[in-house]
Amino acid sequence: MLCIIFKILLLKPQIKIFEVNNQEFKCCYRKHKYAFNPSFVGVQPNFNLKVGCKVFNFLSVWIAILIALTPAFILFLYLAGTETLTWASFGMGALGWLFALLLRVVPLQIPVTYGMVLATSLAYFGYSSILAGIFEEGIRYLLMKKIGFIRLTLKHILSFGLGWGFGEAVVVYVVNIISAVYFLGYKLTFMDMLPGAVERNLAIMFHTALTLLVLKALASKKFLWVAMTIHATVDFVSLTVFRLLGFPVWYVEGIIFVMTLATVIYAYMLSRRMVDIKSTFFFKF
C-alpha cells in the first residue's frame, strides 16, 4: 500500500497552458479560465480567481487530510476517553509502525541497487510485501506480548491497532501531501488526493483487524503466520494490480476494500470466541 499512495501523490494533473504574444500562462486547476484585461494587450489572471484558486487549493488539501485521519481518531476518542493507558496504547501503535518501517528500510533498498527494472518488477513487489508482513506483524506481536497495558482490555487492543494505522497515515499520507503541495509545488486537485485518503481509512481498518489476529497469536503461534501471510498478500495484490496491471485507482481501492472487509470479518469471527476476553490467559504474559 505504501507504493500505491506514493504513486498517487506524485501524479501531476494536466495543466492547461494558454499562449498569447509568445507568453505562456498556466492555470493551476483544469477548469479555471483566464480573464482578458482591456487595459493592455495580453492575458493575465483575474485577481479574484487567483485568490480563489489558493483558497480552494488550501481547503482541498486539508479536507483530504481530515478525511484520512478523522474517522479513526473519532473512534479512538470514543474508546479512550481520558484514560491514560488507552492513549499510551494508541501511541505505542504509532511508534510500533514507525519502528517496523525503519527496520526494513535497508532490506528494501538492497534490490534497488541492481537497477530500477528490478525495483519495479513482480519479484520486488513480492519481496517488499513479504518484508512488510514479517516486520510489521513481528513487531506488533512483540509489543503486544511484552507490554502488558496494550492487552489490558479490548479497547486497549483496538486503540493499539488504530494507533498503528493512524501513525502510518500521518507519515505516508499527510507528510507526503504537505511536501508535494507546499514544498515541491505539485498542483494536486481534491480528486487527486481523495483516493489516498480513502485508502488510509481502509488501511487503518486493516491494521486493527490484524491486531486482533496477532492477539490470537499470543496463544497460538500459527495465527502470527496467518497475520503475516494476509498482510503480505494484500500488499502484493494491491501493488500488482496498480503498478503492473495498470488498473484505475478506484478499481484498486475497490479490491483493497474487499480484501480489508474479508480480513475484518475473519478477525471478528475469531474475537467472538473470546467470550470473556478480560479473564483469558491472553492478558497474563
- Sequence-distant (6+) residues with CB within 8 A of 205 are 165, 260, 264
What is the span of the domain harbouring residue 145?
2-26+44-187
User: First vs last Cα of the chain: how many Å apart?
Assistant: 32
131 domain residue, yes or no: yes
Separation in Å, CA 167 to CA 30, 35, 84, 124, 224: 33, 44, 18, 25, 22
200 domain residue, yes or no: no
Query: What is the C-alpha separation between 211 and 58, in angstroms, rounded?
Result: 35
158 domain residue, yes or no: yes
253 domain residue, yes or no: no
Query: What is the C-alpha separation between 210 and 144, in angstroms, rounded?
Result: 12
223 domain residue, yes or no: no
219 domain residue, yes or no: no
Query: Number of folded domains in the chain?
Result: 1
- Render the chain in DSSP notation, one character per residue: -HHHHHHHHTPPPPPPEEEETTEEEE-SSTT---EE-TTSSSEE--HHHHHHHHHHHHHHHHHHHHHHHHHHHHHHHHHHTT-HHHHHHHHHHHHHHHHHHHHTHHHHHTGGGG-HHHHTSHHHHHHHHHHHHHHHHHHHHHHHHH-GGGGSSHHHHHHHHHHHHHHHIIIIIIHHHHIIIIIS-----HHHHHHHHHHHHHHHHHHHHHHHHHHHHTT-THHHHHHHHHHHHHHHHHHIIIIIS---HHHHHHHHHHHHHHHHHHHHHHHHT-TTGGGSGGG--
Q: Map grid coordinates 473470546 to a residue.
A: 274
Considering only CA atoms, give the Rg of the chain.
22
Reference 96, options 128, 124, 137, 57; nearest CA is 137
pLDDT the model gives residue 285? 35
Query: What is the C-alpha separation between 256 and 252, in angstroms, rounded?
Result: 6
pLDDT tens across the length of the chain (285 residues)? 554 544 444 444 443 333 434 444 444 434 433 333 333 344 444 555 565 577 778 899 999 999 999 999 999 999 998 899 999 999 999 999 999 999 999 898 887 777 777 777 899 999 999 999 999 999 999 999 999 999 999 999 999 999 999 999 999 999 999 999 999 988 899 999 999 999 999 999 999 999 999 999 999 999 999 999 999 999 999 999 999 899 999 999 999 999 999 999 999 999 887 644 444 444 433
72 domain residue, yes or no: yes
Query: What is the C-alpha separation between 60 and 54, in angstroms, rounded?
Result: 10
124 domain residue, yes or no: yes
Query: What is the C-alpha separation between 238 and 5, in angstroms, rounded?
Result: 11
Query: What is the C-alpha separation between 125 and 132, in angstroms, rounded?
Result: 11
Provide φ and ψ at 36, rounded to 5°: -75, 140
